[in-house]
Chains A and B, each alone.
Chain A
């Protein structure tokens, strides 16, 4: 009977060790943000003394940081809206209509799951340049939505199929059109699935770096990841300030994660195993 508490203690010890592997880098960044760079290089381990707020407050009072947050948020919201709206319609067609070429078109989209984004980025850039979409948020939103389609369609089609056909028959008998059924009955019922795919789209867009780096060169449109990279280039020797910047850049992502944790993880595991 003494074995049980001992095992429990060692188990907790192990979890704490792994936890330290995750948390120490994050805590290091948070604490370092309260130091001056001179203090940081002198003593990377210790608590800040004195605690300086100036790194954080300086960034929070700068227009550039907030503009980047706003750009990232706007682009993420727009990407999620386009991805989910367009995917929901397509997934409805795939789940509910029998038409010639359905399997072909679905395979086409499903194949998109294995196209690496990096393959298309170079011609995509040339295409966007030709369309005049450089330094235009649409140049990021539309390609992001396009690359988000395969996963979203696969997840939503799966969900739409679980809604019984009798429901649609009843709605049609009551005089509902196909679009009316889709809009007034199916979408409200699919709210959990729509939430999941929206959260996925938002997080993917928020973290995207490659495309905004190429398309949005004007500081006016820069998103957070590009801004972080630029900031590091600019203040490369002011370590404490750079660390404060990335800590503040992490906050929205982590806050969103803590709110939407369930949807995000549900979506990722469903998307990964069903893809």
Chain B
């Protein structure tokens, strides 16, 4: 029986199996170097295409962004005008960039306070037995399948001053009638309106995550709680919610990462206006990189976006996801 060493060492999930394979390895003679080399070459052969594509189109561009962020550079010819950290100093003094960070934070907070509870409520509602449940789920998720551009153009039309559906809806209402005609054109209303569109588009995705999470809440536990006299709210608060913890933490994580890189939807809806009041980091980067040809400065924005998402990801994993994933992305072995 000739088995390649790789098969024997293939990862097993449980600790006991690990121990067994370790014992087995002890009994057998060490595999010769040529064999191990051959195994390594075979693995490399399978890995190579992915590695080439990934290094070339993901890692190198990110490295280049770091490099060019140190230059004053218009994007043509090689960068020569070394500027050190000047681009970053300028960036951190730029009120538009402060605004980007602030608006990102506002969208994250709005998502966590409004969008995710809304998605959770809908998921709990649709997790109950009711007629047409599958169709409702399908409809609520549908906006997530549409492209950001189609969504953006659609809501651009709906919120059109005077001619749009939204104005027609609020015009005759007592409290909201002041909103008519303002939506995207007023600095105070533009961000909430963008958030409304984001909720329309993305809440179905989070609802689906929660529905998947709710499936894993054992009904025995809920029944036991009911027998002990817990009402629906108490069952939700003390049984369902804690068991849903991992799903909720993932959903918050995805919301934040999504807010950091938000571009398409806002670009189509407002292009960042009026006067930067809906601008995101990615839009600022796009403006400088592709409209004003300040590629060095735009690269500095890219680098900060990278740093923000990296620091957030690592911190979040360290403090929030540790219980769920035991290390996950930082210790890849644990991603199961």
Q: Does B246 contact A (CB under 8 A)?
A: yes
Q: Given contacts A95-B10, A114-B257, are A265 and B141 in contact (CB under 8 A)?
A: yes
Q: Does B113 contact A (CB under 8 A)?
A: no
B127-150, CB under 8 A of A: which get 1 and which 0?
A: 010100000101111110111111
Q: Given contacts A19-B136, A250-B146, are A44 and B163 in contact (CB under 8 A)?
A: yes
Q: Does B194 contact A (CB under 8 A)?
A: no
**In the bound complex, CA of A22 to CA of B207 (Å):** 13
Asked if A22 and B164 sit within 8 Å, CB to CB, the answer is no
Asked if B145 and A264 sit within 8 Å, CB to CB, the answer is yes
Q: Does A12 contact B (CB under 8 A)?
A: yes
A153-177, CB under 8 A of B: which get 1 and which 0?
A: 1100010010001001100110000
Residues on A with beta carbons closer than 8 Å to the beta carbon of B250: 272-273
Asked if A246 and B150 sit within 8 Å, CB to CB, the answer is yes
Residues on A with beta carbons closer than 8 Å to the beta carbon of B154: 25-26, 29, 243, 246
Residues on A with beta carbons closer than 8 Å to the beta carbon of B143: 22
**In the bound complex, CA of A169 to CA of B3 (Å):** 7
Q: Does A178 contact B (CB under 8 A)?
A: yes
Residues on A with beta carbons closer than 8 Å to the beta carbon of B49: 85-86, 89-90
Q: Which residues of chain A from 217 to 251 have a CB within 8 Å of any chain B CB?
A: 224-226, 228-229, 232, 239, 242-243, 246, 249-250
**In the bound complex, CA of A209 to CA of B8 (Å):** 46
Q: Does B64 contact A (CB under 8 A)?
A: yes
Nearest Cβ on chain B to A144's Cβ, whole angstroms: 9
The residue from B1, B12, B57 contacting A146, defined by CB atoms under 8 A apart:
B57
Q: Does A6 contact B (CB under 8 A)?
A: no
Asked if B264 and A123 sit within 8 Å, CB to CB, the answer is no
From A45, A123, A254, name the one whose CB has the most chain B CB atoms within 10 angstroms: A123
A97-140, CB under 8 A of B: which get 1 and which 0?
A: 11110110111111111111111111111110000000000000
A63-101, CB under 8 A of B: which get 1 and which 0?
A: 000000000000000000010011101101111111110
Residues on A with beta carbons closer than 8 Å to the beta carbon of B313: 114
Residues on B with beta carbons closer than 8 Å to the beta carbon of A89: 46-47, 49-50
Q: Does A15 contact B (CB under 8 A)?
A: yes
Residues on B with beta carbons closer than 8 Å to the beta carbon of A118: 261, 263, 281-282, 285-286, 302, 305
Residues on B with beta carbons closer than 8 Å to the beta carbon of A250: 146, 150
Residues on A with beta carbons closer than 8 Å to the beta carbon of B53: 82, 86, 142, 145-146, 149
**In the bound complex, CA of A229 to CA of B164 (Å):** 18
Q: Does A8 contact B (CB under 8 A)?
A: yes
Q: Given contacts A116-B309, A119-B65, A274-B336, are A261 and B147 in contact (CB under 8 A)?
A: no
**In the bound complex, CA of A226 to CA of B68 (Å):** 28
Specify the chain B residue showing the minimal Cβ separation from A239: B157
**In the bound complex, CA of A99 to CA of B331 (Å):** 17
Q: Does A61 contact B (CB under 8 A)?
A: no
Q: Does A52 contact B (CB under 8 A)?
A: no
B44-62, CB under 8 A of A: which get 1 and which 0?
A: 1011011101101111111
Specify the chain B residue showing the minimal Cβ separation from A109: B54
**In the bound complex, CA of A206 to CA of B251 (Å):** 24
Interface size on A, residues (CB 8 A): 109
Q: Which residues of chain B from 1 to 48 have a CB within 8 Å of any chain A CB?
A: 1-13, 39-40, 42-44, 46-47
Q: Does A56 contact B (CB under 8 A)?
A: no
Asked if A228 and B46 sit within 8 Å, CB to CB, the answer is no
Q: Does A53 contact B (CB under 8 A)?
A: no
Q: Does B310 contact A (CB under 8 A)?
A: yes
Asked if B125 and A11 sit within 8 Å, CB to CB, the answer is yes
B152-164, CB under 8 A of A: which get 1 and which 0?
A: 0111111010111
Q: Does B268 contact A (CB under 8 A)?
A: yes
Q: Does B333 contact A (CB under 8 A)?
A: yes
Asked if B43 and A116 sit within 8 Å, CB to CB, the answer is no
The residue from B155, B160, B289 contacting A122, defined by CB atoms under 8 A apart:
B289
Q: Does B299 contact A (CB under 8 A)?
A: yes
Residues on A with beta carbons closer than 8 Å to the beta carbon of B54: 108-109, 112, 146, 149
Q: Does B173 contact A (CB under 8 A)?
A: no
Q: Does B179 contact A (CB under 8 A)?
A: no
Asked if B212 and A273 sit within 8 Å, CB to CB, the answer is yes
Asked if B43 and A22 sit within 8 Å, CB to CB, the answer is no
Q: A15-B130, A99-B40 are in contact. List 8 more A-B contacts (CB 8 A).
A: A90-B47, A106-B333, A116-B260, A143-B57, A149-B54, A209-B147, A265-B141, A265-B208
Give 9 nearest A-B pairs by CB, closest first. Answer: A98-B9, A146-B57, A90-B50, A123-B64, A207-B147, A116-B261, A120-B61, A97-B43, A93-B46
Supply 14 A–B pairs (Cβ within 8 Å), ascending by A: A28-B165, A44-B165, A86-B50, A97-B43, A116-B257, A126-B295, A127-B64, A165-B7, A209-B147, A225-B149, A242-B153, A269-B209, A269-B212, A275-B335
